[in-house]
C-alpha cells in the first residue's frame, strides 16, 4: 500500500517539480579543427582558460577504429572494479569480480537510448543560435548504470599503443600524463558534475557523448569531500527536485556550455571547469592529463597529501575513495 501511495505521489508531483526547476542557459562550446589546432603554438594549447572541442584530432588514431569484439579479444583476464551509480553524487557502490570481457558485453547489450534521452535539449525560441538547456526530464529518469574508470594500459596492454595522445601536446613545457585513464560504459552512463585540478583532454574513441561545462563559481556548490586531483559538486543533476529545494542558486549560474562528441573528437577542459557527461550509446573515451611547469608544484603537493589521507591523517571519513 505504501508503494502504491509513493508511486502515485511521484506521478503527480514530478511534473510540477520539473516544470519549476530552471536550467542555466547553455551555449555551444567553441570548436576548432585539428588542422587549425596544430597551427597553435604549444603554449597556446595548454594555457587555455575556456573549453574547446578539437574536431577530428584523433580520427587517424588506430584506437578510433576499435570494435567491441577487438576490445574483448585484446583485454586481460584481470578482474575490474566498476561502480554502480554516480560516484560524484556519492550514491555509488563498487561492483567487484567482473572480468573486462564480461563488462564490455554488458555495455553493448544494454538497452539503447531513446532519442529524447539526452543531456541537453534545445531552447525552442533560440534553437537557431545553438542555445540549450539541461534536459531534466531525461536526467530524472537515469537509473544506476554500471560505469568503469580504468587504466587502459592495465587492461588493454597489447593495444594501448594505438592511442596517440602525445601528438596533442608536443612541448617540453608540458608533460602529458600518458597513462590513459579510460571511461567505458553503456548507453545513458552518466558522470556527475565535478572539476579536475589538471588540464584534461578527453578523447572520444567509440560512441557518442554529450557534455555540459561550467566555470568555477560558488553557484556550483563545491563539495568539501576529499578526492585526489578533483572537486565534486553538490549539485545532483539527476535530482532536479533537490536542485530546487537545496541548491537553488545553480539555476542562475552563468557561462554554461554544452557539446556533443563523436569518435575522433577531443574536448580540452581547463583546470577547475566543472563538467558532467552522458553517453548516448556504448562509449569508450580516454583522458590525457597535462602537467606543466606552472602547476607541477601544486600537483606534487596533492600527491603527497593523498599519502597523508590514505593513512587516515587528512579528511578521514570525509572522502569519495574510502567507502
Q: Given this model, what pLDDT does residue 205 score? A: 97
73 with 116: CB under 8 angstroms? no
Alpha-carbon gap, residue 294 to 297, rounded angstroms? 8
Q: Given this model, what pLDDT does residue 125 score? A: 64
Alpha-carbon gap, residue 133 to 120, rounded angstroms? 5
Alpha-carbon gap, residue 131 to 121, rounded angstroms? 9
24 with 217: CB under 8 angstroms? no
Alpha-carbon gap, residue 302 to 55, rounded angstroms? 32
Adjacency order of strands within the sheet including 30-33: 30-33, 52-55, 266-269, 199-206, 283-292, 174-185, 146-151, 79-84, 93-99
- What is the dihedral angle through the alpha carbons of 96, 100, 102, 103, rounded to the nearest 10 degrees? 70
Q: Given this model, what pLDDT does residue 3 score? A: 37
Q: Given this model, what pLDDT does residue 12 score? A: 41
> Dihedral sign, CA of 182, 30, 190, 291?
positive
212 with 275: CB under 8 angstroms? yes
pLDDT in tens, 99-126: 999 999 999 998 888 999 999 999 876 5
C-alpha cell at 323: 567507502
Alpha-carbon gap, residue 237 to 232, rounded angstroms? 12
Average model confidence (pLDDT) across the chain: 86
134 with 212: CB under 8 angstroms? yes
Alpha-carbon gap, residue 42 to 87, rounded angstroms? 34
64 with 264: CB under 8 angstroms? yes
Number of other residues whose CB lies within 10 A of the CB of residue 70 = 13
- Highest averaged pLDDT of the listed ranges 197-201, 207-211, 312-316: 207-211
DSSP letter for each residue of 99-160: EHHHHHHHHHHSPPPPTT--SEEE-GGGGGGT-EEE-HHHHTT----EEEEEEHHHH-TTTG
Q: Which of 91-95, 200-204, 223-227, 251-255 has the lowest mean pLDDT?
A: 91-95
Residue 295 has pLDDT above 90, yes or no: no
Q: Given this model, what pLDDT does residue 6 score? A: 33
SS3 185: strand
Residue 91 has pLDDT above 80, yes or no: no
Alpha-carbon gap, residue 22 to 243, rounded angstroms? 9
**Residues facing residue 200 across a β-bridge:** 269, 289
Helix (H) or strand (E) holding 162: none
Residue 166 has pLDDT above 60, yes or no: yes
Phi, psi of 167, deg, nearest 5: -65, -15
Alpha-carbon gap, residue 162 to 108, rounded angstroms? 22
Q: Given this model, what pLDDT does residue 162 score? A: 94
Amino acid at each position: 500500500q505504501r508503494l502504491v501511495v509513493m508511486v502515485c505521489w511521484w506521478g503527480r508531483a514530478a511534473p510540477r517539480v520539473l516544470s519549476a526547476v530552471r536550467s542555466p542557459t547553455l551555449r555551444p562550446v567553441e570548436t576548432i579543427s585539428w588542422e587549425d589546432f596544430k597551427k597553435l603554438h604549444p603554449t597556446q594549447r595548454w594555457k587555455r582558460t575556456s573549453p574547446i572541442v578539437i574536431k577530428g584530432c584523433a580520427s587517424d588514431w588506430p584506437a578510433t577504429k576499435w570494435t567491441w569484439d577487438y576490445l574483448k579479444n585484446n583485454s586481460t583476464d584481470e578482474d575490474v572494479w566498476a561502480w554502480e551509480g554516480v560516484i560524484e553524487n556519492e550514491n555509488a557502490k563498487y561492483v567487484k569480480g567482473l572480468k573486462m570481457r564480461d563488462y564490455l558485453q554488458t555495455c553493448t547489450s544494454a538497452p539503447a537510448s531513446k532519442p529524447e534521452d539526452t543531456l541537453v535539449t534545445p531552447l525552442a525560441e533560440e534553437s537557431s543560435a545553438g542555445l540549450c538547456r539541461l534536459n531534466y526530464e531525461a536526467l530524472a529518469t537515469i537509473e544506476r548504470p554500471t560505469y568503469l574508470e580504468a587504466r587502459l594500459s592495465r587492461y588493454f596492454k597489447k593495444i594501448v599503443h594505438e592511442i596517440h595522445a602525445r601528438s596533442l601536446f608536443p612541448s617540453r613545457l608540458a608533460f602529458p600524463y600518458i597513462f590513459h585513464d579510460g571511461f567505458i560504459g553503456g548507453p545513458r552512463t552518466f558522470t556527475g558534475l565535478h572539476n579536475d585540478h589538471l588540464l584534461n583532454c578527453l578523447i572520444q574513441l567509440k560512441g557518442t557523448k554529450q557534455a555540459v561545462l561550467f566555470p568555477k563559481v560558488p553557484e556550483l556548490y563545491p563539495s568539501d569531500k576529499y578526492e585526489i586531483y578533483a572537486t565534486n559538486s553538490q549539485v545532483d543533476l539527476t535530482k532536479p527536485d533537490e536542485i530546487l529545494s537545496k541548491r537553488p542558486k545553480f539555476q542562475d549560474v552563468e557561462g554554461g556550455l554544452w557539446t556533443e562528441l563523436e569518435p575522433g573528437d577531443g574536448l580540452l577542459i581547463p583546470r577547475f571547469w566543472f563538467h558532467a557527461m552522458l553517453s548516448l550509446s556504448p562509449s569508450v573515451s580516454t583522458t590525457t592529463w597535462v602537467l606543466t611547469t606552472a602547476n607541477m608544484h601544486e600537483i606534487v603537493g596533492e600527491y603527497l597529501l593523498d599519502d597523508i589521507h590514505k593513512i587516515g591523517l587528512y579528511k578521514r571519513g570525509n572522502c569519495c575513495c574510502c567507502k
